[in-house]
Amino acid sequence: MVAVGGYGRGELSPHSDIDLLFLLSPRTEVTKATLRGLLYPLWDAGWQVGHAARTPKEAIEHTAEDLDAATALLTARMIAGSSELYDEFVDRRERWIKKDRRSLARRIVDATTERHKRVERAGWVLAPNLREDLGGLRDLHRLRWLAEIGEQPAHFPQELLGGGETLLAVREALHAQLKRKSDSLRLDLQPSVAETLGITDVDELMFQVHSAARTIEQEGNALAATLVGRVLGGPKRSGWVKRIGHRISVDEGALTLDESLDVQISDGLRLLAAHAQGGRPIHPRTFVRLADVFKDKEPRAWDEETRTAFFELLAGGHCVSALESLDHVDGWSALLPEWKRIRALAQHDPYHRYTVDGHLFVVVSEIQRAIENDPIAQAAAAEAGDLDTLRLAALLHDIGKGSGRDHSIVGEELARTICERSGLQRDEIEEVAALVRWHLLLIDTATRRDLDDGAVIASVADTVGDGRSLRLLYILSVADGRGTGPEGWSDWKAALTAELYRKALVALETGEVPSRSDVTARAREVEAYEPGLAGRAEDVLATLPPSYLEATSVPDMVDDVRILLHPPEKGEVRHRVYEGLERGEAAITVCVPDRPGTLARTAGVFALHRISVLQAQAFSTTAGLALERFIVKVPEGSTWAAFEADLEAVYSGRLALEARLEKKIREYRPTKPFEPEVRVLPEASAHSTVIEVRAPDALGLLFAVTAALTDLDLDIHVAKIDTLGRRVVDVFYVRNSWGEKLTEAQSDEVRRSIHHRVGRLFGE
């Protein structure tokens, strides 16, 4: 009996698979009953046991077609049984390694490359896979395998081994919590894993995990290159060396620093800037020297060479890699000591994908991608001119996180300190500080306020102050959204942000707040797209609010006009379903006669069918119709026929929605009781009272909130619904039944009504 795989390495976690190889002599006959006798006690005890029964010759032959089997044998060790059989196996293994060393190394390298394409990076992603992600335990296994097939002993740096011990300890705690095998350190499991390890702060746990994974990624890749080179042989040197800058050369395609005793921080930054600009790798020997360049340097005012090199680094197409290299050599301690608090800091915003510092690196790189892919950002960049302050603001915009205060305000304070140390001019300091302070202004306003309201546009324009700042802020908003994660940016958010930007820019440059979109121009676009609507589109579009005209694409507008040309009668519903979005998502448009409670009814039917609303907008037309638009997440296996039937039944009075919904939520209650945060903002709009509700996402929440507003006979003039991972922000512009803003007493009742409805549905 031979231990292979993780059992052979001696790295079993509590619920790891136990992999066994039964070695047989050629004359031995092993029946299934014999194996069952050995394995059933283990299976009955709850162990996951993988096994194979082969002769030593067969075990080696099997490696030709199965890389997993091949690597499992590299760390095999004997458990019990015939030492002669095991010795024969070891002898055959040594001969196999000697013969196939080069091809096996290539197979390991190729498999690693393919895995890295599929996985996340454990040092940067918020919920890493401790085994498979880049920088995870599997990358350490790769090094063990390469070391086993090498002809020389390999030295593993202590920090590399320490990183592996950290990940193994966390993996064991994860298994202990789940009582089963798992490698995914999900966000909801992190607090209990930290507690199991005796770590009081989950951020400290994730700092250790992310730091360990970054070390494994950087040090592991360097060691892997060395080990592979020993087996395959390095490329033949041509002697080609080219100097490309002060103390910087390209030696056989890799960047190097001159062997000088007085290398300065500015020299290290020039090297990283060359890497960022051209993408050439840094020579491993030079990478080691970089750590000495920044080591034990006290933060001080930057000279012009340091500042120039740093801005060149930020502008490079490979800036993320350069910034990560700066992290690995601890360059931030010498340049920006304020960086220490956010290094490898986990984020608790539900829509973020990366650590705070990882997100900042990505957003810097997204500046150029936003300019290339967004025509509005492209024009804004051309008109703004120099973008150095924008890139620095992108790097610093979340540096205030983790302080316990509003990160935008803290970030502004830190940005001023950093800019002064870096030697920027006063106007540049003010520009960076303002961008950091207001980096959420456009996206938050666009998704939570009525962009038809002149007061909203005027407020944004007054806050930003001038056209250049607004242009830079728009590009930063796009880059920030794109760099956040899948739920941080969407076509819907992009359209609303662009609309707000255009209106605020007009207000800044003309002094006049745009009051309405040109209905005629939009109608011409619709009719050009669909000639069959010629002569009819303008009358229909004129009944819709300007925010609809700004935020809706022409193809969607065409479909909406078709619906509105044949409006539903009382009790009828017009709707359309479009499933050509992301996997599992669909766009739904619902049109019904406008009356109090329409949004609540539609939201209730979604909840009844366990369809999650990700985003929504609701519009009232002057023709007495309600047009509701939703982006939803559809459960697997669902069909639209039952949903459509219930939608018709609700609006025709044939379905007791609330009674059915309460029963459904009692049966399916994945959330704990919670209290929503209800904000009443009477001054946010000139014509309506703004109600903002923040809460954990829960099945039926949108129904509960909108039903609470219906209970008070309030008219929802505009609704904007946004689901951010596990939390929602729902915003409603409401008026009372006689078309006025709410009184203070009515506002108090709104809070009471929403808390009552939510408590009734989601309380114990």
Alpha-carbon distance values, 364 to 439, 476, 669 (Å)? 13, 9, 41
What's the whole-number mean pLDDT along residues 33-46? 86
Q: How far apart are CA 523 and CA 517, in angstroms?
A: 11
Question: What's the confidence (pLDDT) of residue 70?
Answer: 93
3-state class (DSSP) for residue 111: helix
- Find the mean pLDDT for residues 569-580: 83
Check whether 738 has a pLDDT greater than 90.
no
Query: Using a CB cutoff of 8 Å and minimum separation of 24, what contacts does 532-536 make?
Result: 533/558, 533/561, 533/562, 533/565, 536/561, 536/565
Q: How confident is the model at residue 98 (pLDDT cuts 50, 70, 90)?
A: very high
Q: 699 in helix, strand or coil?
A: coil
- How do strand 18-23 and strand 49-54 relate by DSSP bridges? parallel
pLDDT of residue 515: 60
Least confident of 86-95, 190-199, 639-648, 713-722: 713-722
According to DSSP, the residues that pair with 716 across neighbouring strands are 734
Taking the CB of residue 658, how many other CB atoms lie within 10 A of it?
Answer: 18
Report pTM. 0.81
Position 343 scores a pLDDT of 95
Measured CA to CA, the distance from residue 118 to residue 460 in angstroms comes to 42
CA atoms within 13 A on the CB side of 180: 3
Structure token pair of residue 412 = 């502004």
Distance CA 702, CA 506 (A): 35
Rounded Cα distance, 525 and 517, in Å: 13
Please name the amino acid found at residue 120.
E
Residue 541 contacts residue 557 (beta carbons within 8 Å): yes
User: pLDDT category, 214, cuts 50, 70, 90?
Assistant: very high
Interval 671-710: pLDDT, tens: 567 889 999 998 888 788 999 999 888 888 999 999 999 9
Mean pLDDT of the chain: 89
Strand duo 77-78 + 241-245: pairing:
unpaired
3-state helix, strand, coil in the chain (%, to 5): 55, 15, 30
CB atoms within 10 A of CB 123: 28
Q: What is the mean pLDDT of residues 590-600?
A: 88
The pairing of strands 625-633 and 585-593 is antiparallel
For residues 761 and 600, the answer to whether their CB atoms sit within 8 Å is no
What is the rounded distance in angstroms from the CA atom of residue 716 to the CA atom of residue 390? 39
Q: How many CB atoms lie within 10 A of CB 478?
A: 29
Residue 32 predicted with pLDDT over 80: no
**112 and 139 in contact (C-beta within 8 Å)?**
yes
Query: What one-letter code names the amino acid at 582?
Result: E
**How many other CB atoms are found less than 10 A from the CB of residue 164?**
23
pLDDT the model gives residue 38: 85
Between these two residues, 383 and 737, which has the higher pLDDT value?
Answer: 383
d(CA 6, CA 10) in angstroms, rounded, equals 6
pLDDT in tens, 515-569: 656 788 889 999 999 999 999 999 999 998 777 877 788 888 999 999 999 888 7
Lowest mean pLDDT among 11-25, 26-40, 339-353, 532-546: 26-40
DSSP string, 520-559: HHHHHHHHHH-GGGTTTHHHHHTTS-HHHHHHS-HHHHHH
- pLDDT, average across residues 730-757: 91
Is 307 strand, coil or helix?
helix
Count CB neighbours of 746 within 10 A. 16
Q: How far is CA 561 from the centre of its chain?
A: 36
- Residue the block writes with tokens 């993996």: 171
CB 719 within 8 A of CB 730: yes
The predicted model gives 179-199 an average pLDDT of: 92
For 610-636, what is the mean pLDDT?
A: 86
pLDDT above 90 as % of the chain: 55
Cα 6 → chain centroid: 31
With beta carbons less than 8 A apart as the criterion, state whether 733 and 451 touch: no
Q: Are 597 and 707 in contact (CB under 8 A)?
A: yes
DSSP-derived 3-state class of residue 402: coil
Q: What is the DSSP letter of 675?
A: -
The whole-number average pLDDT for the span 219-224 is 91
726 close to 697: Cβ distance less than 8 angstroms: yes
Give 451-510 pLDDT, tens digit per residue: 877 888 999 999 999 999 999 999 999 999 999 877 778 888 898 899 899 999 999 988
CA–CA separation, 375 and 373 (whole Å): 6
Q: Is the pLDDT of residue 238 over 80?
A: no
Tell me the range of 467-481, 602-616, 738-752 where mean pLDDT is highest: 467-481
pLDDT of residue 671: 58
Q: How confident is the model at residue 331 (pLDDT cuts 50, 70, 90)?
A: very high
CA-CA distance, 581 to 638, in Å (whole number)? 16
Pick from 636, 552, 632: which is nearest to 586 by CA?
Answer: 632
- 8 A C-beta contact, residue 399 and residue 339: yes
DSSP 234: P
Alpha-helical regions (H) of 385-518 = 388-396, 407-422, 426-437, 441-448, 454-464, 467-482, 491-510
Give the per-residue pLDDT at 616.
84
| Mean pLDDT of the region 176-198 | 92
What confidence tens digit (pLDDT) does each residue in 246-297 have? 778 888 778 888 877 678 899 999 999 999 999 899 988 888 888 888 887 8
Residue 200, pLDDT > 80, answer yes
Backbone angles phi, psi at 413, to 5 degrees: -65, -45
3-state secondary structure of 353: coil
| Strand-by-strand arrangement of the 77-78 sheet | 49-54, 18-23, 2-4, 77-78
Q: Token pair of 385, please?
A: 């001119």
pLDDT at 239 over 60: no
pLDDT score of 668 more than 70: no
Share of the chain above pLDDT 70, in %: 96
